[in-house]
Structure 1
């Protein structure tokens, strides 16, 4: 049996030393994508391969590259572009496993987050195979620290994800630095129009390699939908973790912030967890992945991009804390478990607002997923439903009471003579007033303008010599027509007249006191100066 499997790899054109390395890593027979892609790539043709993650596509392009690399040449001969640092490290680890017993091939990983000086020192050495992310590789190209003019084999891995992340300009600039006669291999889980357009621009008569996607069935991964609510999501997840007791589990969140918040909550409840997302430093991300692979972390809370291409042995469970955005994301997420012919379980937490998205996912994978609800979630849902019913009943009861009070108020208003309001609509709160109070307030409002007018007329009448006869009324009407400046001038003139009369009386009194016959009254003392100026003058 082993000889038959060995013959399968030999038949594909793989040398025995590489087959021995494969067997040492537990790989005994080729996968469907490897059987189709390796013979084509060994001939040097361009190829577009569509395959899901977990199908063995990494070895499908690594084995032809290792077969054709010239160990005597120190220049870069093969370039593998990946969308994320984690995937670059994963591919690098796969190559190092195969080349552990073969020292003739040198591999270098180039990605962001690493120390630039350290990368420069490594770039100065041998590097037949470079595995890189677009951003950091383009940085080295601009620095002049890497030369791609000798590249003969180019791989675009996870091309759909690379374009989705906005790396198209960087990819175009990098491809422009490579020879036009290179061999280009494009691997993608989905074949979008953008991927097709990229292939048409930069590939020469590529051969399509399509492996019928193996439908995800309950035989591979048990897929379960747990219906819950947004408020009960966290408690539902904790119930599932306690119930399932996974060996290793990946918990997917929609955003970096939600992943960080959920991880903090899990740690607060005593779970051995950590987070993986783009806001972490490269050193932190590598440390998290190392501890997860070594099973020192039981639960990895991650975002889609950070966990792209994640391949860790022993992952028994996947929890979609937030529902995936599309079918491809769902397949990628649950594909983190059930690998290497092992069984896996995938839970998806779904709230009421997620049901339409769930229907799209079920349509995309052509199956209806199992439904269940934990006791805590069911109790919470029933509790919320009862609360909602009570709120509706209260609203209906209040509406009926308001309607009754409105009818009663309408009857009282009619009896109280509300017609005096001139047909104006009732103010808010009228239904709460008694009939006597309503009549009193209406009469008060009706009388206020008249009282104000009477008061104004009385005030104006006093200014008109205090007479209330016909002439006083004429002066009142005349004063009412006067403008404010006219009234001010009139007041000033009156004050000046009074002052003049006072001066004349004072002067007359003084003259009579000086020798003329007086009325017998002496003038009063001279007025005393008041104010701070007078006091200061007196002190001096």
Structure 2
């Protein structure tokens, strides 16, 4: 009982739903925040993708819904349509066996606004889930009456800020009751977000959940150099080696996603693509096809890396290293989920060495690999030359290392002989210094001896 969901004293239908999903024990973020949310406390939960934060807020909030009140009681905002639909799906799953119907509605861009307005004229939902722009539109039309809701959830708050939605969120929050319970969930808490949090939150409970491993131990994390090869050729070869179950290929821009998708299609690979310029209806259709395993390969921007669950991803390929390194963890976290094994492959060129080093500074370790004769094989550590040089020079004293550096700058042909002469001269100088020191020590000892006689 101690570490099960029953200890949160939530309604039986929620426990049954959790059991059906297959959750047996609460995650760390759920352990720490569900009791506080149940008590009506405002919270900031900082945790990585896959930590269980969606159910952290859904369980206690659904538990607190009064179905008899035909009014909005909870508003949940997300920065992307896909994430809104995913949260909605999770919420509907939880209320399926509720004794009284709990009305959950999703409002996102690219859907029929007129129809939504007409439907709202007859009945307000208990829980609103959606993107900030569409929720605000429906509020301005006096169709969605959210002023009754005492709870506002902002999921993926840092991404909401990055995508320029914070102003819309501010307008939404300003229409809610003064005594507002605000729940913020985010992978990071940027400084630009803090003034907004201060405006609406007084003494919130702040919990930062540090992942036990930055990358799940279920994931093999490979690094492959593209030196001398076209990146699209390397990706094609990776997709045709072995039998990957479902592969997500990430690129930094919509243009690059299109370029990779077109390159793979021209080589006979059936591939889906997901990015912001694809119309919402088309994106929803593609996501459904991917989930139904109609596509084995998906090329996407980071839109798909944050919060969107696609079951059974066996491989992630970073076609490009993300410029925001937090996205590296989000991308790689798409695989190795639910105790399944996964493989993450990062491609890099020599001019991206610094980006690889920055990722390693986060505590992430790569296994160097290369492709030979249609197989992925272990290869040498890219830092081996630097390590050899370091080992050589570490055995030399500081002055000699300085002389070597100076010599390297000035000499060109026959540098090995000249380097030898530099080291030899240094050793001669060192021996002379040692002999002088020894002679001085003997001289001082003799003087001291004569004085005592």
**Fold-level match, TM-score > 0.5?**
yes
CA distance in structure 1 between the partners assigned to 2:293 and 2:310 by the alignment: 10
Are 2:215 and 2:333, in contact at CA under 8 Å, matched by a contact in 1?
no
CA distance in structure 2 between the partners assigned to 1:367 and 1:353 by the alignment: 20
CA distance in structure 2 between the partners assigned to 1:122 and 1:186 by the alignment: 29
| CA distance 1:123–1:105, shift in 2 (3 Å) | same
SS at match of 1:222: strand
Are 2:254 and 2:276, in contact at CA under 8 Å, matched by a contact in 1?
yes
The 5-angstrom pairing of residues 205-220 of structure 1 reads 205-217=203-215, 219-220=217-218
SS at match of 1:251: strand
SS at match of 2:40: coil
Q: How much has 1:305 moved relative to structure 2?
A: 2.1
The 5-angstrom pairing of residues 465-476 of structure 1 reads none
SS at match of 1:234: helix
Q: How much has 1:332 moved relative to structure 2?
A: 0.6
1:239-276: per-residue Cα shift (whole Å, max 9, x none)?
11111421111110111111112112212222221110
Partner of 1:267: 265
Which 5+ residue runs of structure 1 have no aligned equivalent?
379-540
Greater RCO (Cα-Cα under 8 Å, separation 6 or more) = 2
The 5-angstrom pairing of residues 52-71 of structure 1 reads 52-71=48-67
Q: How much has 1:217 moved relative to structure 2?
A: 4.4
Higher percent of residues as helix = 1
Are 1:77 and 1:153, in contact at CA under 8 Å, matched by a contact in 2?
yes
CA distance in structure 2 between the partners assigned to 1:51 and 1:244 by the alignment: 34
Which 5+ residue runs of structure 2 have no aligned equivalent?
376-453
Partner of 2:84: 88
Find 2:298's aligned residue among 285, 297, 300.
Answer: 300
SS at match of 1:131: strand
Partner of 2:369: 372
The 5-angstrom pairing of residues 506-521 of structure 1 reads none
- The answer to whether residue 142 in structure 2 is matched with residue 144 in structure 1 is yes
Q: Which runs of 4+ in 1 moved over 3 A?
A: none
Q: How much has 1:212 moved relative to structure 2?
A: 1.8
- The answer to whether residue 241 in structure 2 is matched with residue 246 in structure 1 is no
- The answer to whether residue 104 in structure 2 is matched with residue 107 in structure 1 is yes
CA distance in structure 1 between the partners assigned to 2:215 and 2:133 by the alignment: 38
SS at match of 1:374: strand
Q: How much has 1:180 moved relative to structure 2?
A: 1.4
Greater Cα offset, 187-196 or 7-16 = 7-16
CA distance in structure 2 between the partners assigned to 1:247 and 1:71 by the alignment: 43
Q: How much has 1:231 moved relative to structure 2?
A: 4.9
CA distance in structure 2 between the partners assigned to 1:50 and 1:297 by the alignment: 33
Q: How much has 1:230 moved relative to structure 2?
A: 7.8
| CA distance 1:218–1:58, shift in 2 (3 Å) | closer
1:158-189: per-residue Cα shift (whole Å, max 9, x none)?
00111011112111111111111011000110
Q: How much has 1:218 moved relative to structure 2?
A: 6.4
Partner of 1:48: 44
- The answer to whether residue 149 in structure 2 is matched with residue 116 in structure 1 is no
After superposition, the CA RMSD in angstroms is 1.8
Partner of 1:8: 4
| CA distance 1:233–1:128, shift in 2 (3 Å) | same
Are 1:274 and 1:300, in contact at CA under 8 Å, matched by a contact in 2?
yes
Q: How much has 1:15 moved relative to structure 2?
A: 2.1
> Which structure: larger Rg?
1
SS at match of 1:40: helix
Partner of 2:183: 185
| CA distance 1:13–1:326, shift in 2 (3 Å) | same
The 5-angstrom pairing of residues 409-420 of structure 1 reads none
The 5-angstrom pairing of residues 124-523 of structure 1 reads 124=121, 125-217=123-215, 219-229=217-227, 231-364=229-362, 366-375=363-372
SS at match of 2:249: strand
| CA distance 1:197–1:245, shift in 2 (3 Å) | farther
Greater Cα offset, 317-326 or 98-107 = 98-107
Are 1:31 and 1:56, in contact at CA under 8 Å, matched by a contact in 2?
yes
1:196-245: per-residue Cα shift (whole Å, max 9, x none)?
33211111210112222222346221111111148521111111111142
Are 1:228 and 1:373, in contact at CA under 8 Å, matched by a contact in 2?
no
Q: How much has 1:29 moved relative to structure 2?
A: 1.6
1:292-317: per-residue Cα shift (whole Å, max 9, x none)?
00111111110012442111111111
Are 2:218 and 2:341, in contact at CA under 8 Å, matched by a contact in 1?
yes
Q: How much has 1:121 moved relative to structure 2?
A: 3.2
Q: How much has 1:340 moved relative to structure 2?
A: 1.4
